[in-house]
Amino acid sequence: MKDPRHEGNRSPSAAPTATEDTASDVIPVQYGSAVLAPTQDSPVEEAKADTNLAGEPKQRHVDQPDPPAMETAVLGRLEGLGILVVLRDADGNVVSADGSWQPGDESSQIDDLRQSFPEGSTTTYAGKAIESPGDRHATNVDLEVVVTGHGHYEAADGRTLLLVRFEPRQLG
C-alpha cells in the first residue's frame, strides 16, 4: 500500500519537517483521548512503539479527565443541556472559552437549529460553566454568546445528537 507521507523525493526514513503533517500518537481529548498503540500483528518493534514517526518519545497522558458533562441550560429561549469551558493562563487571564448546547426536544432538526441560531449570531446562554475540562466545580452563568457552529452526530446507541457551539461575546 502506498503511504502518502513518503511521496516526493524524500527518503522514506527521513524525519518529517516542521511544515509537514505528522500522524498523531494521541487522539485529542475532544475525541476521547485514546492512546494509539500497535496491534498484536503489527510489524513495529517493541522498542519503536515508544516513539512517534519522527523517532521522538511519545507523549504520555495519565489520568486525563472525561469530557465535562452537560447540564440543564437555556440557549436563547430554548431549554436543553449545555456547558461552557473556560481556560485561563497562569496569571488568571481567560485564554479561551468554548461552549456546547444541545436541545432538550429530541424532535429538533439541525435545520431548525441553524435557523434559530445562525452562525455568527448573538444570543444568551444560561447554564453551567467550568474553569477547565478537568474541573468538576461548575458555576452558573448568564451571558451573551456568539454562535460559532452546529453539529449533527450519531451516538453509539443510535441516537442523533444535535449541538450548537458558541463562545462568550466578551472574554474575561
pTM for this entry: 0.60
Q: What is the pLDDT of residue 23?
A: 42
Residues of the chain with pLDDT under 50: 4-16, 18-48
Q: What is the pLDDT of residue 59?
A: 63
Q: What is the pLDDT of residue 52?
A: 66
Q: What is the pLDDT of residue 53?
A: 66
Contacts of 21 by beta carbon, 8 Å cutoff, 6+ apart: 5
